[in-house]
Structure 1
Amino acid sequence: MERVLGIGGYFVRATDPAALTAWYRDVLGLDVSEHGLWQQEPGPTVVAIFEADTDYFGRRTQQTMLNLRVRDLDAMLVQLREHGADVAAETQDMEGVGRFGWVTDPEGNRIELWQPV
């Protein structure tokens, strides 16, 4: 049986692709090439399937949610707030898993930030 090797890309619709690309680069610190290639650090990736009526992703029209691993969640949340980003007030700690926080990008997509244990 053939198996998937990893995530090959994440594609987002945007009314202003250049502005959203700049936000991901300048606010989240995603260093992407001109073709969108990002060399991420090794680490775990979670694939989780949620109930169709979940509110976890934010708005109901958002079908998927990007989860990004971060080294220091608190520092990232401060950085995001300094850039005027829409950051959720709450964070969540899951024993044995890590800490979570959320930000909504300028196009209204909720993104989960994860500091693994």
Structure 2
Amino acid sequence: MERVLGIGGYFLRAADPGALYAWYRDVLGVEVSEHGLWKQEAGPTVFATFEQASEYFPTGQQAMLNFRVRDLDAMLAQLRATGAPVEEPQDMDGVGRFAWVTDPAGNRVELWQPS
């Protein structure tokens, strides 16, 4: 059986795509080429499905982006300095620490510092 190799892209709709990209670049450090190619560090990726009524992320949001980070506390301080809405971190034994931010388009984004 042929298998996928990994996530090839993540696409977001926005009223102002340029401004939303600028937020991801300037606030989270996501740097992409002119064609949108992002060279990310190797590491684990979680693929999970949720019940339609799950409140883990807003029910009107069909998917949630999760970014791995090296230092969650430093990332949260950086986000707070920009005025981005940040939720307090939570620990999950054996998995790592998590926190959430809402992007300017209203998408809840998860930040994960693996154990």
* TM-score, normalised via structure 1 length: 0.96
Match of 1:32 in 2: 32
Secondary structure of the 1:19 match is helix
Q: CA deviation at 1:7?
A: 0.1
Whole-angstrom CA distance in 2 between matches of 1:24 and 1:35: 16
Whole-angstrom CA distance in 1 between matches of 2:36 and 2:84: 22
Q: How does 1:82-101 map to 2 (within 5 A)?
A: 82-88=81-87, 90-101=88-99
Match of 1:73 in 2: 72
Q: Which runs of 4+ in 1 moved over 6 A?
A: none
CA RMSD in angstroms comes to 0.7
Q: CA deviation at 1:84?
A: 1.0
* TM-score, normalised via structure 2 length: 0.98
Match of 1:7 in 2: 7
Secondary structure of the 1:91 match is strand
1:18-45 residue CA offsets vs partner (Å, 9 max, x unmatched): 0000000000001111211100000000
Q: Which runs of 5+ in 2 are unaligned?
A: none
Whole-angstrom CA distance in 1 between matches of 2:27 and 2:66: 15
Whole-angstrom CA distance in 1 between matches of 2:85 and 2:18: 19
Corresponding letter in the other structure for 1:38: W
Corresponding letter in the other structure for 2:112: W
Counting aligned pairs with the same residue, the percent is 74
Question: How many residues get paired?
Answer: 115
